[in-house]
Structure 1
Amino acid sequence: MYQKQATKSKLIGSLYLTIAASIWGGMFVVVKVVVPSVSPFLLVWSRYVIAIVALVLLGLQQHINWHVAKKDWPLLISIGIIGQLASIVFQETGTMLANAQIGSIITATTPAFMTLFAAWLLKERLTFTRVLAVTCATIGVILAGGGLHVHAHQTLGVISLTIAALTWALMSVLLKKVPARYSALQVTTIGTLVVLIGLTPVILIGYHAFNWAIMLTPKVGGGILYLGIISTAVAFVLWNKGLQLLQASQSGLFFFFQPLVGSLLGWLVLGEALHISFVFGCLLIFIGVILTLRN
């Protein structure tokens, strides 16, 4: 009975993580369309304003208990600063300076970092199968994106995206330290509030430098609504719920669905090149996911 329940939890967690990562894959294309018109800081702030409204309404509808013990605040605030503030700002800045495919490929190094952080902070076993799974899937990501071809003017973008991958991996592992009494919705809402508190002073200082009128145009406004409701509120809750059901080192492998969707949509929507190696890369990624689920 226990084994059956564990398998069911693993499958449900896998589904949550797959959907969340796929949503974020599509986010790279939306950001690439919206960012040239909107400052990365304003874009992040706007999407979190929308997300906090959606999260609070959902929390009220589900009668969430918002109480947080004093000793747990440092951890929850750290998660918000590291993963939902620093990581997202660096990610969107990096995408602006590089392109959607490079963005999805670089940030897909996150699972490797998650495996290392999990071994260090959570004492999860660094087994041969897990290392093989991450290595296999990482090679698959590079192949799926046609190789990592970086031009000199994209160097800062690559650096920003690497920092985004590191901070996101650390945040995902720290989430495993959050007591089970806090729901994924509650943790996500607190992290979102932390982002707004951190970014609002920056927005107020640069208020006159931002092009607020463009936020009301259908393309930019629609993109920000998508980023706020789907890519932030929905995807973060799904990711956090998935992390609660799997080990951190296992969860990271599902992040590879992000570059698959990002590369595919980058080709379909933005006209970015998609090489034949995409098929072989996809195969390696799926092999890596299967290996980690069987472990």
Structure 2
Amino acid sequence: MLKKYIGPICLASAATIWGGMYVVSKVVLTVIPPLELVWLRYIVALITLIIMSAVTHQSWHIQKRHIPLILAVGVIGYVISIWSQFVGTKLSSAQTGAMITSATPAFMVIFARLLLKEKITLRKGLSTSLASIGVLCIVGIGNIEKSYQLGGIVLGIAALSWALMSVLVKRIPSSYSQLVITTYAIFAAIVIITPFVVSQIDMTHIRAIFQPTIGIGVLYLGIVSTAIAFFLWNKGLQMVDASRGGLYFFFQPIAGTLLGWFILEEHVGITFWLGSILIFSGVLLAVKED
């Protein structure tokens, strides 16, 4: 009986952690550029995951035919999506980042149909439309700064790529340890990002890590928001259908908005709330059980 709640608990926990991630990112990004922050975050996460895998005695064996799939998870989810999240958050706000990326479940419906052959119902099609209109409301309507509009567009890319990655995770055999899968995918992301980071690394940014606030922020992003949250999300997806799994993204905008308002004193306008209502409505339609 208890087993059926493990997947939902993992997904809800991961989404809640990511909601707080946008607030922490907003602070750390004032000192460290997005790409360098992604790289630092993954270095910390990789060390954490290796220790966790070693302590729990996980098997590192992966069949060759599944390697391209794991690489795709690393590139699409851990490079494109995460980098887009950081860039979009820097250009906009913590609430905007959390809210726009909450459209991910609706996008998962489309990818689940294409890759997993899940049936697209009228309700699922309507949900995708509502979520898309909601994103457009947040990004392109109202008297908001151009940087916020651009940030919203980049965050939309983050939502799309994370949705694709989440569906790809469902195609990886559940017999593999999700600790090991997450470790390999993050290692692939580090290999891709490192050449770009090395060419633009700045000692000022490295010294900033030793500032208490920035250092704790980097550790939180690496250990909690990456190593632990990625593992929880992948584990939860193994145990819950792709469409219903998206339901737990509701926890992300709730946490992001509350923390952004409480800690960063961010304010939102009417178009933000209109877009938020549309996104919530779309996601609810997409994931609600028959």
TM range (shorter): 0.7 to 0.9
Does residue 244 of the first structure (1) align with residue 241 of the second (2)? no
Partner residue in 1 for 2:89: 95
Partner residue in 1 for 2:258: 264
CA contact (8 A) 2:124 2:285 kept: no
Partner residue in 1 for 2:9: 15
Q: Any unmatched runs of 5+ in structure 1? A: none
Does residue 200 of the first structure (1) align with residue 174 of the second (2)? no
Give the aligned length.
Answer: 287
Q: Any unmatched runs of 5+ in structure 2? A: none
Distance 1:116 1:286 in 2: 17
Distance 1:286 1:106 in 2: 13
Residue 225 (structure 1) aligned to one of 219, 223, 227: 219
Q: Return the TM-score normalized by structure 2.
A: 0.88
Superposed CA deviations along residues 217-264 of structure 1, whole A, max 9, x for unmatched, are 001000000000000000000000110011111111211211111011
109-118 or 266-275, which deviates more:
266-275
Alignment of 1:23-62 (within 5 A): 23-62=17-56
Distance 2:141 2:250 in 1: 15
Partner residue in 2 for 1:189: 183
Partner residue in 1 for 2:98: 104
Superposed CA deviations along residues 194-237 of structure 1, whole A, max 9, x for unmatched, are 11111111122123465211111001000000000000000000
Superposed CA deviations along residues 160-211 of structure 1, whole A, max 9, x for unmatched, are 1111111100000000110122121111111110111111111221234652
Q: CA RMSD in A?
A: 3.0
* AA aligned opposite 1:292: V
Does residue 155 of the first structure (1) align with residue 172 of the second (2)? no
Question: In the superposition, relative to structure 1, how do residues 148 and 108 fare at CA in structure 2: closer, same or farther (>3 Å)?
Answer: farther
Deviation at 1:269, TM superposition (A): 0.4
Question: In the superposition, relative to structure 1, how do residues 98 and 141 fare at CA in structure 2: closer, same or farther (>3 Å)?
Answer: closer
180-189 or 169-178, which deviates more:
180-189
Does residue 179 of the first structure (1) align with residue 173 of the second (2)? yes
Q: Return the TM-score normalized by structure 1.
A: 0.86
SS in 1 for 2:256: helix
Question: In the superposition, relative to structure 1, how do residues 138 and 260 fare at CA in structure 2: closer, same or farther (>3 Å)?
Answer: farther
